[in-house]
Amino acid sequence: MNSAAILPSRNEPATIAAVTTAVDTALAEHRSVIVHADSSDTPATADQFTATATQAAKVPLTGLIRGKGAQILAAAHLPDLTGIDAVLIADTDTRGPDPAVYAALLDHVRAGAAIAVADYPRHWDEANLTNHLARPLIAATTGHDVPQPLAGDLALSRPALDAALRAARALPVEVSACVDGYGIDAFLLLTAATVGPIASVRFDQPKQHAGSFAHLAAIYHQAVPVLLHLTRTGKPPPATSGGATAHYRVADRALEPARLSDMLTTLDSFGPYPGGYDEHPWPEPVADAWRTVNSGTPAPDAARQLWPHYLRRVTDWLTRGPRASTRQRAETLAAGHARLCIAVLTPAGARR
């Protein structure tokens, strides 16, 4: 099977070489190709990629407009990927990348999955968008419970990649702009789910990479419209309201008081919390946002209305988290997951 890899990057000269080497080891094929899709401010990242020896052919794609999704889609359109059967996409800010992770993702696609997504345990203060919103929303509206739907490390089959390229051309302009950014991970997952099976590939160690909290607003406003738009036609499976409890892996670590204070200050700077929060607690606002999109509200508008509720949820989580045990944190996330599944199945008026 012919394989390729796409490495989207922006200003990552310290990590691109190690990721490239690990990906090349995972591909383990002389006919494979690695595309570096770069939008860096300087040539340093591209230079490190070019200088890294590989068995696979290397294609440098530089000077791209900024946006993870735009970079990935630009690479996916290259003639160099013609005839490729499986495509690996890997984050280039990963420290200590493991070739076995990338190889396992490719192996699942070669075995018949439309998409294989890495399932890393995440530290309790990370993955707030995944744990509080993306994972439970996808599960509640489609029946696909993917522990790390925004993992960043994934592999796609050729039919799944082709489906994504077709779907991208049909998106509303405002949602397309979100897919060009951080919305790409949710987009690839949800479009691949229309083609074939999803494989969630479990790993035991947390991923070591640059923190994303500083980009919280951008990630939210690009990923959530995509999530709402692509799940709007989902048919919630009745079994989700009484099925097995979702299992959340929340890796423990101490959070320095100064770091926690900075995070809470950042959240507070985004604006006031919504009125009536206690009357309509999380995750009911998520179900309401999903319903408004089903009723014709553009997904970016629904995401903006949901934003202050999400901020309140993350603030509550970070405030209470230091005093909670690992088990309590996991149980809290699982309970929110279950409540959203029920809320999606319950008419809005019945929840008031």
Q: What is the pLDDT of residues 256-310, one digit of tens each?
A: 999 999 999 999 998 776 665 566 789 999 999 999 999 999 999 999 999 999 9
**Exposed/middle/buried for 212, CB within 10 Å: 0-12, 13-18, 19+?**
middle
Domain span at residue 197 reads: 3-233
12-28 CB burial, b ≥16 within 10 A, e <16: bbebbbbbbebbbbbbe
Task: Using alpha carbons, list the distances in angstroms from residue 269 to 132, 272, 308, 311.
Answer: 20, 8, 11, 10
196 DSSP 8-state letter: S
Residue where one domain finishes, among candidates 233, 252, 270: 233
Strand, helix or coil for residue 220: helix
Same-domain status, 165 and 308 = no
Flag whether pLDDT at 143 surpasses 70: yes
The residue with greater pLDDT, 78 or 255, is 78
Most distant CA pair in the chain: distance in Å?
62
Instruction: Indicate which CATH number applies to the domain containing 126.
Output: 3.90.550.10
Q: Does residue 257 share a domain with residue 207? A: no
Rg (CA), the chain: 20
Beta bridge partners of 33: 4, 57
% of the chain surpassing 70 pLDDT: 93
CA distance 217 to 269: 11
Of 261, 276, 326, 309, nearest to 121 by C-alpha is: 326
In the numeric block, the tokens 């309509």 are attached to: 280
Say if CB 76 and CB 47 are below 8 A apart: no
Q: Specify which residues 36 forms β-bridges with.
A: 7, 60
**What does the alpha-carbon distance between residue 132 and residue 337 come to, in Å, rounded to a whole number?**
8
Which of 99, 96, 91 has the alpha carbon at shortest distance from 56? 99
Structure confidence by residue, pLDDT tens digits, 193-233: 999 999 999 999 888 877 777 789 999 999 999 999 999 98
| 41-54 residue pLDDT tens | 999 999 999 999 99
> In terms of domains, do 244 and 213 share one?
no
Cα–Cα distance between 52 and 93 in angstroms, integer?
16
Count of CB atoms situated within 10 Å of the CB of 100: 12
Q: Are residues 229 and 247 in the same domain?
A: no
Segment 129-133 mean pLDDT: 96
Euclidean distance between CA atoms 215 and 302, whole angstroms: 20
Regarding whether 299 and 319 lie in a shared domain, the answer is yes
Task: Using the predicted structure, report yes or no on whether residue 66 has a pLDDT greater than 80.
Answer: yes
Domain-ending residue, one of 180, 213, 233: 233
Query: Are both 19 and 162 inside the same structural domain?
Result: yes
Distance (Å, whole) CA 20 – CA 52:
7
Residue 240 has pLDDT above 70, yes or no: no
Q: Which of 32, 37, 30 is nearest to 83 (CA)?
A: 32
| Residue 89 CA from chain centroid, whole number | 12
